[in-house]
Amino acid sequence: MKKKTAEKKSPMGKKCATRKMAFKVARESKGVVRKRLAKVKEDDPSLPLPKFVERVNEIAERYLAPGPPRDARVTSEFSERTVRHYQAKEIIDPPEKEGKEARYRYRHILQAVLTRVMLADGFRVPLIREMLAGKTDAEYEEFLEMGPFAAKKMASEQAGGCGPGELSSTWVRLMVAPGIEIHVERGVRPPGTPEEAMELQEKLSLALRGEFQRRRARRRRHSVEE
């Protein structure tokens, strides 16, 4: 009696199978967390800070992209200190009070989860604050479903469309001369010493000088060709 030999999968076949399995696990994971969020919304919990932090980390884990965060300064999990920090930054709403105790509800969970996911994807605090400000719970849920970069694009379009993926109030536009302006991000740290200021001026001067040299070279080439 002949024994059946097992068919060997090619490396490409194994890779495709692994990828399909990863997508399946991701879909199931998102499905589980959607149901959990729906249950949290229905119950509208009133959580003390330690329990709130635990719930946020549990839910955010399902929405984070695989691998290390884009920004190395982002910690793997939120802590009580982290929550207080982003409250001070006006990204997470202040907690409600039950007597002297702080309590966190469904809206706070959405804000904290979105903040953690956006930070891991490299978003800066000023942009996160602007994207989340004044939004409804339904809009927060939509942001979670579409992912940070799609949410960023939609928020930009809602703000009037000021370039690919940037919100107008995130940048200050400085007119230097006719046809020349500088864009400065609102959250950027100004030079702390005269030396740093001189270094920045030199960089700006070099950037403008290089651009003008390239333009003069193009004009010379065009005049020769003509």
Residue 85 is encoded by which pair of tokens? 């920090």
Distance in angstroms (rounded) separating the CA atoms of residues 148 and 168: 18
Instruction: Please state the length of the chain.
Output: 226
Question: The domain that contains 113 carries what CATH number?
Answer: 1.10.1660
Domain that holds residue 207: 170-225
- The confidence score (pLDDT) of residue 103 equals 94
Same domain, yes or no, for 57 and 109? Answer: yes
- The confidence score (pLDDT) of residue 14 equals 55
Diameter over CA atoms, the chain: 90
- The confidence score (pLDDT) of residue 146 equals 72
- Domain presence at residue 89: yes
- Domain presence at residue 1: no
Same domain, yes or no, for 155 and 217? Answer: no
- The confidence score (pLDDT) of residue 88 equals 93
Residue 26 is encoded by which pair of tokens? 């991701």
Distance in angstroms (rounded) separating the CA atoms of residues 113 and 78: 9
- The confidence score (pLDDT) of residue 162 equals 47
- The total domain count for the chain is 2
Distance in angstroms (rounded) separating the CA atoms of residues 118 and 115: 5
- Domain presence at residue 178: yes
- Domain presence at residue 11: no
- Domain presence at residue 186: yes
Same domain, yes or no, for 127 and 175? Answer: no
Over the chain (226 residues), the average pLDDT of each successive run of 10 is 51 54 50 70 84 90 70 73 93 90 93 89 86 88 74 56 47 74 73 83 85 82 70
- The confidence score (pLDDT) of residue 80 equals 93
Burial class (CB in 10 A: 0-12, 13-18, 19+), 115: buried
- The confidence score (pLDDT) of residue 176 equals 77
Residue 72 is encoded by which pair of tokens? 């190395």
Q: pLDDT tens, 61-99?
A: 877 766 666 665 566 688 999 999 999 999 999 999 888
